[in-house]
Amino acid sequence: MASINDIIDNIIFSGLIVLISIFLSRLINSVISSNKRVPSRILWKSNLIAMAISYGIWILQTFIFGLILDFFVPMTLHVILVGLFFGVNWFFGKKIIKNEIKRSLIGLEERLKEKEKLRREMDQKLKEEKVLLDVQDLITYFYTEEGIVKAVEGVTFQIYEDEVLGLVGETGCGKSVTALSILQLIRPPGEIVGGKVLFQGLDLLKKTSEEIQKFRGNQITMIFQDPLNSLNPVMKVGNQIIEVYLNHKMDELYGEAGQLTEEIDFIRSNLDLKKTLINQLKESITEIKDQMEDTNEQIIDKKSLEIIQQKEDELSVLFKETKGLKKEYNEVKAKSNIFSVARKWAAEIVKDVGIADPERILDRYPHELSGGMRQRVMIAIALACSPKLLIADEPTTALDVTIQSQILQLMKQLQKEYKTSILMITHDLGLISELCDRVAVMYSGYIVEYGSIFKLFKTPLHPYTNGLIRAIPRVEKRVDDLAIIPGMVPNLIYPPSGCRFHPRCEYCFEPCPTNNPKQIETEPGYFVACHLYDPKYKDMTKNAIENPKKIKQEVG
Amino acid sequence: MNEKIKRTVFSRQFWGKNYDKMKLFRKKQFENTIKMEGDTRKERFVRYLKFFFLPCFRASEINRVEFEIGKIKSKRTFFRRFLTPLTILGVICLLFIFWCAVFPNWASKYTFEEIAVWVNIYDPAYDTPSLKHPLGTGGSAWDILARNIWSSRFSLQISFLAVAIAFVIGILLGIISAYAGGWVDNILMRVVDAFVVFPALILAFLFIAIWGNKLQYIMIALGLSGIPAYARIARASALQEKSKLYVDAGKAAGASRFKIMFKHILPNAWTPLIVRVTFHLAVATLSVAGLSFLGFAVSDVPTWGWDINAARSHMYRAPWAMVWPGVWITIAALGFQLIGDGLRDVLDPKLKLL
Amino acid sequence: MSLIKYIIKRLLIAVVMFVVIMAIVWVFIGFIPGSPIERPLARLTVGFEPHEIEAIRQQLLHDFGLDKPYFMQLLDFFTGIFTGDWGLSISEQHFKYEVFDLIKVYFPRTLEIAIIPMIVVNLAAVKLGKYTAVKRGKTGDHVFRGLAIVLVSLPAFWVAILLQYAFREIVPAVTFGLIDLPIVGLYSTKYTARNVPYVTGFRTIDSLLANQLDLFLDTILHLIIPAMVFFIAIFGHMLRPARSCMLDVIENDYIRTARAKGCSEKDVINKHAFRNALVPYSTFIGFNVGYFISGAAYVELIFAFNGIGKAMVTALLNTDYFMIRGCVVIFCLINIFVNLAIDVMYAILDPRISYG
């Protein structure tokens, strides 16, 4: 009879081992690759069940052996406890996972149908109204130590479906901030102070951060300037694309993976059939052999030998078929994992983007690829879920000129293929002329001119646009001095009063230093924000246009 | 700028027909950046002072140029951002410790002999706090308050000198190896790695075994064991700065290697080093206390660590004898730490927007 | 595979560093004044005749290997490191014991306090670092920073003594005798007679393997408070790097891309930011390990564990030449080994490191 103290010591010790095993199982779960990983909730459930069962058995064992036989299991055999724990864990884990999958598959059909219906409604609405993104009076400020940086002050524009809108401006005029504000990617100390961003009728600025996650990457996506720093350096490129699918297209993934379950069932039933056939054949062979032994005749019955030979041939054929079926079964089973389906989709889109041999690229890290390929990968991530709107924030600035043109061609082709609208942000007017249908020119936080690209290049109305286009050097002419816009970009903390361009404007006249210009529609669909085109000041404008001022070139 | 170069670069020969334009340009540049309208030096100085001290001072005639200059100098914003509540606490702690260390004769009622050399036969040892001894008495019936004040002097001395050794040697090694590159870099970094392997305790241990139980050896040991941190930080910063253009400009202007390393690169890389110095001061104070707790080099100076050790056996009778030295150590280390944190918040541009 | 080649290269560099450092140690130990056998000679030859003293002196020199030429002694030292012959101790208590055996017994007792807190500290610091990245600038962040500063400023040995006092006097009174943890020594007095066979040197593991569960539980009870004190001593040093590494990573562009892809904040921090922050964080561990082990020596001295701290102090008092050398060697070994492990882990975690 062992003392109670010893039993309690044993029980405490086994308890410690079980706790350590729980901890180990969580640790292993967090470091294995994503395909085999188990969600945390399921892991807890199976851990608890395993703990109850294995620890219960062990306590029983301790009591029985300890009290009656006075025999305690040596320390090394506690490995059995650990093995039991993990075994039960694995078994129950698989069962619970199967249940979860079944449960999530239950409403799958309805959910997919609903999504389809919603999408069709949105498309219908879009066809009627044609406006995809409607930005009204967006205001974003940055509250820094040195003052309030008024980065975006009242920006208004619209993007229609299947068009490319360009957003041009100098560095520091607020283009990137506008784009980030649309997706609510502005971090403190920045804050979106006012305005509306209507995407297909829904106001994006009023959405909470969970709701807007469903938009980002799904219907509105963004690509950034420097692809080396914008891709996660410790994750493989393929995993980064798969992540987008896992975030937004879970149901579709399960749907496609589920389609393969029928195939799996079919193959499995085939396998079972073959197995029963094999068993039958084996039985008949053994019967005949037994018969031969029973009769104990020395005469070798030719016929029964023939029958045996035939049956053995059939058996070998069946074995081969079963092997082939088993291989097929394993392949299909591997493919029906949602990760493999996602990987297949990722390979497809990487091929679309113009990268040859997508399978190899999916396993590379970002620093192993060239600049052009990285930008293509970023475009692939952006177009993965076929978004309605793609925001491109200076995508080609960090690349060489030859790669620039390749990426441009790619974007043009993809835009036609996927029918995405693109908001192209850049400071290069040449790019705009190649890609865009309409263009908006930004200066120091607001849009100065906005309309069709032909009209803009032919007759630029705003003095700033005028200066920009005049500043493009022409190859055929020989000039002594290049035309510049005199002055410097204004300080965004202390911007000039009234029209922010007025210190540098040649045609600055009476209302300019005091009044903020509003967007005036000179032609249908063409807007200028300048007092020169305001019908109120018609008499004063003539004088201003005929006598342009000379602006002093400030130094420093 | 070198006079010879000035003579060539701004000569009429160099600029040809544009010489007048260039002269006008330089004059305008000078006027725009230095002179203000109708300004004497005294007025400028007064305005600068006002800008520095008054929180909301903004002269109405300040133009954009002066605003930009003010931003660059930015001293007012430095103090405004530095003096957060936590940092003020750190400054108070440090001032207190410095006062104890530099003016112990005024801070404490008792002289050095009374607390460290002589044995007080009039008062009981390990006595409770009383009017005569506000914090109680210690082993040889010394006044605890006075003894702590005197100990701060020696602890501070050792930690400052140790950090100075580590700072100087570490930065030298780091910057030289970063600037030279190649095999020099390799060898110097291996030497620094050799210093990483020896922790402070072991080095002190070794030095005391060799050269005896003296205070200087603790100092040298702490200094040597702190070198790798400075070397690595200096090297990383110097490598970053080396690829910037002003280094090439300095080389083109004919600066010697020493000048480039220590007059151009080092002033741009000193931010993380200064922050590290404050952190190292705190750690050095704690290490000195630990080493004296173990009994190294405690022959003639009073130290906090040894007081803790000596009072340990009287813990149940008189716990205050053991508690107060620890409180002093904490105040010293806390002061250095908080100031280091405040400095890092102000100087590190990445944490600027916090 | 190039990873294996990289590991082998680092291993070779570590071995070369080790040899160079051992040479430095040899030179420095050679500076210790006096001959190593002075004290045992004085001890053993009280009142002897001069010629007898001379004979015993020659005998001692031969025993300790000090009559060989200098170069032979150096060679013996180097080969001895790898074979386990680190010399003989000259202290009175363990006269002519192998230094290696003594360290083999003493060092694991210190490590026992140190291992689990070091692992737990990293996990806790990482978790708190992730928390700071989310709650940046709010109260939680300030509390975190204040905690890091205070924990680093407290002297570890002082806190240890205070906690000893608290757990002896205050806690049993407050909890009515429920929490009555022992604070001194590695095992209670009732187990002094029991001798556990030496397998790893860690009393916990050895008592398990010898199937003595009560001893095991008793040891664990004795280890709780020292481990707690050690945890408090280390925690502050790892909190600050965790926070700064995490914040450095959050500023980057790929976090912005991850948000633009539609990842939830939890995913952004756990999957994207954390994996990138782990890489610079691991360098801080390797850097501080020497400091941590010496901290463990302090804690073990206060709680009277008879570990490496006590051994070092005794060796210093007795000027035990070979023991001093052995202690320095073991510390350097640990440091080099941990730095090598951190290097390898760094290479595994960060695919940007080019192998070979």
Q: How would you write B51-74 as a 3-class SS string?
A: HHHCCCCCCCCCCHHHHHHHHHHC
Contact C349 A188 (CB under 8 A): no
Left if phi > 0, otherwise alpha if psi is -120 to 50, otherwise beta: which for B126?
left
Mean pLDDT score across all residues of chain C: 83
Q: Single out the residue in B41, B61, B82 at which a domain terminates.
A: B82
Contact C153 B337 (CB under 8 A): yes
Give residue C125's Cα distance to chain centre: 19
Residue numbers in B near A488 (CB within 8 A)? none
Work out the average pLDDT over C172-179.
69
B353 → closest Cβ in A144, A491, A555:
A144
CB A440 within 8 A of CB A461: no
Residue B25 at interface with chain A, using a CB cutoff of 8 Å = yes
Please tell me the predicted confidence (pLDDT) of residue A415.
87
Contact C254 A233 (CB under 8 A): yes
Distance between CA C317 and CA B296 in Å, rounded? 10
Please tell me the predicted confidence (pLDDT) of residue A73.
75
Contact A556 B29 (CB under 8 A): yes
What tokens were used for C34?
């006096």
Residue where the block lists tokens 């010697």: B256
Provide the angle, in degrees to the nearest 10, between the axes of the packed helices B41-53 and B75-82: 20
How many angstroms away from the CA of B305 is the closest CA of chain C? 9
- Residue closest to A496 by CA, chosen among A520, A512, A519, A518: A512
What band does A350 get if pLDDT is binned at 50, 70 and 90?
A: very high
Distance between CA B186 and CA B184 in Å, rounded? 5
What band does B59 get if pLDDT is binned at 50, 70 and 90?
A: very low
Work out the average pLDDT over C89-93.
81
What band does A554 get if pLDDT is binned at 50, 70 and 90?
A: low
How many angstroms away from the CA of B290 is the closest CA of chain C? 7
Q: For A263-305, what is the HEC assignment?
A: HHHHHHHHHHHHHHHHHHHHHHHHHHHHHHHHHCCCCCCHHHH
* Interface confidence: ipTM more than 0.90: no
Pick from C32, C161, C162 the residue to mutate for testing the B interface (most B CBs within 10 Å).
Answer: C161
Distance between CA A274 and CA A318 in Å, rounded? 7
Please tell me the predicted confidence (pLDDT) of residue B300.
72
Give Cα separations from A190 to A222, A230, B13 (angstroms): 19, 21, 53
When divided into structural domains, chain B yields a total of 2
Which residues, including other chains, have CB under 8 Å from residue C236's CB and lie 6 or more apart?
C147, C148, C149, C150, C151, C152, C153, C154
**Shared domain check, B48 and B115:** no
Decide if B12 is inside a domain: no
Q: Single out the residue in B32, B47, B82 at which a domain terminates.
A: B82
**Shared domain check, B165 and B241:** yes
In this predicted model, what pLDDT tens digit does every residue of B248-272 receive, in sequence order?
Answer: 888 888 888 888 888 888 888 888 8
**Shared domain check, B248 and B341:** yes
Contact A145 B32 (CB under 8 A): no
Distance between CA A408 and CA B97 in Å, rounded? 66
In this predicted model, what pLDDT tens digit does every residue of A71-85 receive, in sequence order?
Answer: 777 777 888 888 888
Please tell me the predicted confidence (pLDDT) of residue B285.
93
Please tell me the predicted confidence (pLDDT) of residue B34.
47
What band does B62 get if pLDDT is binned at 50, 70 and 90?
A: very low
Mean pLDDT score across all residues of chain A: 84
Work out the average pLDDT over B305-314.
86
What tokens were used for C309?
């701290």
CB pairs under 8 A between A and C: 90
Which residues, including other chains, have CB under 8 Å from residue A455's CB and lie 6 or more apart?
A523, A526
pLDDT of residue A297 exceeding 70, the answer is no
pLDDT of residue B25 exceeding 60, the answer is yes
pLDDT of residue B325 exceeding 70, the answer is yes
- How many CA atoms does the CB half-sphere of C76 hold within 13 Å? 15
CB C260 within 8 A of CB C236: no
Work out the average pLDDT over A475-496.
79
Contact A146 B81 (CB under 8 A): no
Distance between CA A76 and CA C208 in Å, rounded? 9
DSSP of C114-151: HHHHHHHHHHHHHHHHHHHHHTTTSHHHHHHHHHHHHH
Distance between CA B225 and CA A7 in Å, rounded? 51
Pick from A79, A215, A230, A247 the residue to mutate for testing the C interface (most C CBs within 10 Å).
Answer: A230
Residue where the block lists tokens 């420095």: C28
Contact A494 B67 (CB under 8 A): yes
Q: Which domain holds residue B34?
A: 18-82
Decide if B307 is inside a domain: yes
Distance between CA C212 and CA C234 in Å, rounded? 32
Residue A5 at interface with chain C, using a CB cutoff of 8 Å = yes
Decide if B193 is inside a domain: yes
Which of the 8 DSSP states describes residue C97?
-
Work out the average pLDDT over A447-461.
88
Dihedral sign of CA atoms B65, B70, B71, B73 in order: positive
Residue numbers in A near C257 (CB within 8 A)? 224, 230-232, 378, 381
Contact A556 B352 (CB under 8 A): no
Contact C149 B334 (CB under 8 A): yes
Distance between CA A151 and CA B198 in Å, rounded? 53
pLDDT of residue B298 exceeding 50, the answer is yes
pLDDT of residue B56 exceeding 60, the answer is no
Q: Single out the residue in A37, A67, A92 at which a domain terminates.
A: A92
Residue B286 at interface with chain C, using a CB cutoff of 8 Å = yes
pLDDT of residue A66 exceeding 70, the answer is yes
pLDDT of residue A93 exceeding 70, the answer is yes
How many angstroms away from the CA of C315 is the closest CA of chain A? 37
**Shared domain check, B280 and B228:** yes
Left if phi > 0, otherwise alpha if psi is -120 to 50, otherwise beta: which for C96?
left
Percentage of chain A surpassing pLDDT 90? 13
Q: Single out the residue in A57, A92, A127 at which a domain terminates.
A: A92
**Shared domain check, B274 and B130:** yes
**Shared domain check, B90 and B71:** no
Distance between CA C155 and CA A245 in Å, rounded? 52
Query: Among all residues of chain B, which has the CA nearest to that of A494?
Result: B64
Decide if A524 is inside a domain: yes
Comparing A102-111, A235-244, B95-104, which segment has the lowest mean pLDDT?
A102-111
What tokens were used for A229?
């720093």
Decide if B9 is inside a domain: no
Decide if A81 is inside a domain: yes
Residue C265 at interface with chain A, using a CB cutoff of 8 Å = yes
Q: Which of residues 163-202 of A touch C (CB under 8 A)?
A: 183, 185, 188
Question: Residue B161 is which amino acid?
Answer: L
Question: Helix, strand or coil for residue B124?
Answer: coil
Q: Which domain holds residue A491?
A: 449-546
Question: Helix, strand or coil for residue B191?
Answer: helix
Please tell me the predicted confidence (pLDDT) of residue B331.
94
Distance between CA C152 and CA B287 in Å, rounded? 12
Cα radius of gyration rounded to whole Å, chain C: 25
Q: Single out the residue in B82, B106, B128 at which a domain terminates.
A: B82
Residue A146 at interface with chain B, using a CB cutoff of 8 Å = yes
Residue B329 at interface with chain C, using a CB cutoff of 8 Å = yes
How many angstroms away from the CA of A555 is the closest CA of chain B? 7
Left if phi > 0, otherwise alpha if psi is -120 to 50, otherwise beta: which for A394?
left
What band does B335 get if pLDDT is binned at 50, 70 and 90?
A: very high
Contact C272 A235 (CB under 8 A): yes
Report for B38-42, B119-123, C15-19: range of highest mean pLDDT:
C15-19
What tokens were used for C273?
């930011």
Please tell me the predicted confidence (pLDDT) of residue B61.
44
Please tell me the predicted confidence (pLDDT) of residue A67.
77
pLDDT of residue A10 exceeding 60, the answer is yes
Neighbours of chain C (3+ CB pairs under 8 A): A, B
Residue A494 at interface with chain B, using a CB cutoff of 8 Å = yes
Please tell me the predicted confidence (pLDDT) of residue B69.
63
- Residue closest to B283 by CA, chosen among C233, C302, C331: C233
What tokens were used for C140?
């939680």
Please tell me the predicted confidence (pLDDT) of residue A441.
92
Distance between CA A258 and CA A243 in Å, rounded? 20
pLDDT of residue B52 exceeding 70, the answer is no
Dihedral sign of CA atoms C48, C54, C55, C56 in order: positive
- Residue closest to C153 by CA, chosen among C232, C241, C245: C232
Q: Single out the residue in A70, A92, A114 at which a domain terminates.
A: A92
More confident site: A35 or A488: A488
How many angstroms away from the CA of C211 is the closest CA of chain A? 6
Work out the average pLDDT over C322-350.
86
Percentage of chain A surpassing pLDDT 70? 96
Instruction: Give phi and psi for C141, each to the nearest 5.
Output: -65, -45
In this predicted model, what pLDDT tens digit does every residue of C249-294 receive, in sequence order?
Answer: 888 889 999 999 988 888 888 888 888 888 888 888 888 888 888 8
Question: Residue A113 is which amino acid?
Answer: K
Does the predicted TM-score (pTM) go above 0.80? no
Decide if A184 is inside a domain: no
Decide if A166 is inside a domain: no
pLDDT of residue B131 exceeding 80, the answer is no
Distance between CA A176 and CA A165 in Å, rounded? 14
Decide if A31 is inside a domain: yes
Neighbours of chain B (3+ CB pairs under 8 A): A, C
pLDDT of residue B57 exceeding 70, the answer is no
Residue B351 at interface with chain C, using a CB cutoff of 8 Å = yes
Decide if B1 is inside a domain: no
**Shared domain check, B198 and B99:** yes
Please tell me the predicted confidence (pLDDT) of residue B353.
32
**Shared domain check, B71 and B203:** no
Work out the average pLDDT over B39-64.
60
Residue A144 at interface with chain C, using a CB cutoff of 8 Å = no
Strands A526-528 and A446-452 come out as: antiparallel
pLDDT of residue B58 exceeding 60, the answer is no
**Shared domain check, B160 and B298:** yes
Distance between CA C206 and CA A407 in Å, rounded? 66
Pick from B94, B97, B195, B206 the residue to mutate for testing the C interface (most C CBs within 10 Å).
Answer: B206
Residue A75 at interface with chain C, using a CB cutoff of 8 Å = yes
Decide if A340 is inside a domain: no
Distance between CA A517 and CA A514 in Å, rounded? 9
CB C34 within 8 A of CB C319: yes
Contact B282 C153 (CB under 8 A): yes
CB A18 within 8 A of CB A57: no
Contact B33 A556 (CB under 8 A): yes
Report for A101-105, A174-178, B63-67: range of highest mean pLDDT:
A174-178
Residue numbers in B near A556 (CB within 8 A)? 29, 32-33, 65
Residue B33 at interface with chain A, using a CB cutoff of 8 Å = yes
Query: Among all residues of chain C, which has the CA nearest to that of A232?
Result: C254
Residue C316 at interface with chain B, using a CB cutoff of 8 Å = yes
In this predicted model, what pLDDT tens digit does every residue of A36-51 receive, in sequence order?
Answer: 777 788 888 889 999 9
- Residue closest to A415 by CA, chosen among A137, A162, A186, A182: A162
The Cβ of residue B349 has, within 10 Å, a number of other Cβ atoms equal to: 8
Pick from C17, C153, C159, C167 the residue to mutate for testing the B interface (most B CBs within 10 Å).
Answer: C153
Q: Give start and end residues of each alpha helix (H) in A107-185.
A: 108-129, 175-182
pLDDT of residue B71 exceeding 70, the answer is no
CB pairs under 8 A between B and C: 121
Residue numbers in A near C349 (CB within 8 A)? 234
Residue A232 at interface with chain C, using a CB cutoff of 8 Å = yes
Decide if A172 is inside a domain: no
More confident site: A90 or B83: A90
Dihedral sign of CA atoms A515, A517, A521, A523 in order: positive
- Residue B184's domain is classified under what CATH number? 1.10.3720.10
Work out the average pLDDT over B141-149.
85
More confident site: B133 or B283: B283
Residue C23 at interface with chain B, using a CB cutoff of 8 Å = no
**Shared domain check, B107 and B71:** no
- How many CA atoms does the CB half-sphere of A279 hold within 13 Å? 6
Mean pLDDT score across all residues of chain B: 80
Please tell me the predicted confidence (pLDDT) of residue A296.
63
What band does A223 get if pLDDT is binned at 50, 70 and 90?
A: very high
Provide the angle, in degrees to the nearest 10, between the axes of the packed helices A250-295 and A338-352: 120
Contact A229 C263 (CB under 8 A): no
pLDDT of residue C246 exceeding 70, the answer is yes
What band does B224 get if pLDDT is binned at 50, 70 and 90?
A: very high
Give Cα separations from B261 to A252, B2, B177, B234 (angstroms): 61, 19, 11, 11
How many angstroms away from the CA of C155 is the closest CA of chain A? 32
What tokens were used for A504?
């540098």
Query: Among all residues of chain B, which has the CA nearest to that of C327?
Result: B202
Decide if A88 is inside a domain: yes
Residue numbers in C near A381 (CB within 8 A)? 257, 261
Give Cα separations from B337 to A242, B221, B331, B341 (angstroms): 45, 22, 10, 6
The Cβ of residue B300 has, within 10 Å, a number of other Cβ atoms equal to: 10
Decide if B178 is inside a domain: yes
A491 → closest Cβ in B29, B64, B81:
B64
pLDDT of residue B352 exceeding 80, the answer is no
Decide if B5 is inside a domain: no
Work out the average pLDDT over A309-338.
81
When divided into structural domains, chain A yields a total of 2
**Shared domain check, B274 and B235:** yes
pLDDT of residue B183 exceeding 70, the answer is yes
Please tell me the predicted confidence (pLDDT) of residue B68.
60
Query: How many residues comprise chain A?
Result: 556
pLDDT of residue C354 exceeding 70, the answer is no
Please tell me the predicted confidence (pLDDT) of residue B60.
44
